[in-house]
Amino acid sequence: MVASKDYYKTLGVDRKATPDQIKSAFRKQARKYHPDTNRGDAAAEKRFKELSEAYDVLGDPKKRADYDNPISQFRGGGGGPAAGHPFGGGRTVEWDMGDMGDLGDIFSGIFRGRGAAGGRSAPAAEQVYETPVELTLREAVEGARRLVRQEDGRQLEVTFPPGTVAGSKVRAGKNHTFTVRLQADASWRVEGRDIHGDVEVPDHTAVLGGEVTAATPNGKRIALSIAPGSRAGKVIRVRGKGIPALGGSPAGDLLLHLRVTVPEKVDEEQRKLYERLRDALNRG
């Protein structure tokens, strides 16, 4: 990877820059000069190609090491031009580009762009983007669409299917991956694909049994049958009403924890009934 171009200068970083500093410098300029945001601007397109070429080298630890020490590429090996001595002859030739002045540029131009077999080097790898995206629990249950702006300025419409959970990765376009996080929800708690929540049950229904309606994460309400003598904290499991199945993972369940309620205020008749109930329970 002997090259006359100063890739550090191209990216505007010091030769001792860390990989993170190199990546940051590339991303910052790539957004500015990307062809999609500079349509018809030949200078911007040329600049973007120069940046991509520089990052292809400096962003790869092995390529960067070879670039920083070009002499190492012509040492060792034997047998032919592709084995380290560009003009053949059966022996190793060592080139010190630092002592050759302008000839260093000439020789680097000869070898640049050629691989071990004499062909052109592969094009620079396309930048891969990874972006965290936060979804509500309802969006995880029902699915969602988001219009997301990439770091290079392009926009993508991303579809998150029903059943997406925290940690799920959704691929969009050729080089963008979105990692899902779920927003905290005061009303619900997620465990895997199961969803836990509370349902209020009046005290008399808990004692005598009956039916109540309960909320679900998607905003709909369902009817629940309450058995007589149900205690606070009892869990009613509703099969398949948690986070939907996706990618071979079965649907989770909705687990509703009973929260027994008492009236905040009672009229005179109700108070007397509670007193009669208390007395009857005490006699028992």
Assess whether 44 and 105 both reside in one domain: yes
pLDDT in tens, 205-251: 999 999 999 999 998 999 999 999 999 999 999 999 999 999 888 99
Question: How confident is the model at residue 82, as a pLDDT?
Answer: 37
- Which of 221, 256, 250, 223 shows the shortest CA–CA distance to 237? 256
pLDDT at 268 over 90: yes
- 178 with 194, same domain: the answer is no
Both 28 and 99 in a single domain? Answer: yes
Residues 196 and 175 in one domain: no
CATH at 12: 1.10.287.110
137 and 194 belong to one structural domain: no
Does residue 119 belong to any structural domain of this protein?
Answer: no
Asked if 45 and 76 sit in the same domain, the reply is yes
CATH of the domain at 252: 2.60.260.20
Residue 11 has pLDDT above 80, yes or no: yes
Residue 119 has pLDDT above 70, yes or no: no
* Domain presence at residue 117: no
Specify whether 164 is located in the same domain as 249. no
Which residues constitute the domain of residue 164? 129-182
Percentage of the chain surpassing pLDDT 90? 41
168 lies in the same domain as 209: no
* 221 and 178, same domain (yes or no): no
Nearest Cα neighbor of 254 from 141, 164, 162 is: 141
- Name which of 13-22, 67-76, 85-94, 195-204 the model is least confident about: 85-94
- Picking from 111, 145, 167, the residue at the C-terminal end of a domain is 111
**Does residue 123 belong to any structural domain of this protein?**
no
Considering 111, 140, 169, which residue would you say is the last residue of a domain?
A: 111
* Cβ neighbours of residue 161 closer than 8 Å, sequence gap 6 or more: 143, 246
Same domain, yes or no, for 102 and 32? yes
Residue range 257-271: mean pLDDT, rounded: 93
pTM of the model: 0.54
Do 35 and 106 lie in one domain? The reply is yes
CA distance 164 to 143: 7
pLDDT beyond 50 at 127: yes
Does some domain include residue 17?
A: yes
Q: What is the C-alpha to C-alpha distance for residues 104 and 56, in angstroms, rounded to an integer? A: 22
Among residues 197, 263, 206, 272, the alpha carbon closest in space to that of 235 is found at 197
Position 123 scores a pLDDT of 58
Count the domains in the chain.
Answer: 3
Average pLDDT over every residue of 158-171: 91
101 occurs within a structural domain: yes
Residue 2 is assigned to a structural domain of this protein = no
- Name which of 275, 50, 249, 266 is nearest 163 in CA terms: 249
146 inside domain: yes
Residues 171, 97 share a domain: no
Q: Which amino acid is at 226?
A: I
Rounded mean pLDDT of 46-52?
A: 88
